[in-house]
Structure 1
Amino acid sequence: MMTSIQAQWAYHKYWVMGHSQAHYNAIRLLFKGNDWSADKEKDFYRLLAEAQAIAPTGATLRTAYQHIWGYFKKVANDEERDAYKEMIGDETTYEELGEFLVQMIENYQPKYLVNSKFYEDGGL
């Protein structure tokens, strides 16, 4: 059961982070110690549903995008780095930045991100 839930968390991780840092932290605590139970599973799915009802903010998007960018910072070319730096500093470009990061996932294919809700949904 734990492996299946861990896979679900890996799939949802950056998506949750983009919606609610509090829910992200609460879910992380559920996994602490790898001591899983039916109650924790119920809490996990409740927290996912609650996060879905919360609209992303500039702050939550910035945090999620910075974490996602971490997969690319060493492989990106200068043009990609410049584009990221320009967009991360301006909340008005966050929709464009989400699309840019989706394109980066398509170009570089990091397995963890290719298999994520963030990528599947085309951003946040």
Structure 2
Amino acid sequence: MKERGYIEKLWREEKYNVLYHSQQDYNYIRELLKQSPTLNEVQLAINEALQTTPSNGSIMNAYDHMWGYFKHKANEMEKNKSAQLKTDFKQDKVQSNELLIFIKYLADKYEVSYLQKSTLLNFQ
């Protein structure tokens, strides 16, 4: 695989993790990818982004982006659970890991391999 292929694979795996931490860093890396960065440059930018402490806004933004894969596939119970999780998260009744567990469940149920390969959802 050529270096660009490795860069694209890395970004596919890390993009939602970056978005979870920082929309600003996500946008920066997207612009960087339009140039001709090296794999090392992209990895460094990702590593830096992952040092940013996620805000409730960045967490919700990443959740909403990932939920977009399911909003037309999900059944009524799943749609209701998604809405309730969002409300509960905004009211500090649940932590962000509850959102991620739910998205991982949906990614596995609906076999969305793009999300299944995301480092953000690769937890035990």
TM superposition score normalised by structure 2: 0.86
User: How far apart in 2 are the matches of 1:62 and 1:90?
Assistant: 12
Corresponding position: 1:21 with 2:19: no
User: How far apart in 2 are the matches of 1:13 and 1:74?
Assistant: 22
Query: Gaps spanning 5+ residues in structure 1: where?
Result: none
User: How far apart in 1 are the matches of 2:118 and 2:99?
Assistant: 17
The one-character-per-residue Cα deviations of 1:19-71 (angstroms, maximum 9, x if unpaired) are: 11111011000122xx4243xx3331121111221121100000000000011
Deviating beyond 3 angstroms after TM superposition, the runs of 4 or more aligned structure 1 residues are: none
Q: Percent identity?
A: 31
- The one-letter code matched in structure 2 to 1:106 is D
Structure 1 residue aligned with 2:118? 116
The alignment's C-alpha RMSD in Å is 1.5
- The one-letter code matched in structure 2 to 1:24 is Y
**SS of aligned partner of 2:54:** coil
TM superposition score normalised by structure 1: 0.86
User: How far apart in 2 are the matches of 1:98 and 1:44?
Assistant: 25
Greater helix percent: which structure? Answer: 1
Structure 2 residue aligned with 1:67? 65
User: How far apart in 1 are the matches of 2:16 and 2:83?
Assistant: 19
- The one-letter code matched in structure 2 to 1:96 is E
The one-character-per-residue Cα deviations of 1:58-107 (angstroms, maximum 9, x if unpaired) are: 00000000000011111100000001011113332233112111111121
Instruction: Map 1:62-101 onto structure 2 (within 5 A).
Output: 62-91=60-89, 92=92, 93=94, 94-101=96-103
Aligned length: 118
- The one-letter code matched in structure 1 to 2:110 is Y
User: How far apart in 2 are the matches of 1:82 and 1:2?
Assistant: 40
Q: Work out whether residues 11 and 116 of structure 1, in 8 Å CA contact, stay in contact via their aligned partners in 2.
A: yes
User: How far apart in 1 are the matches of 2:73 and 2:4?
Assistant: 33
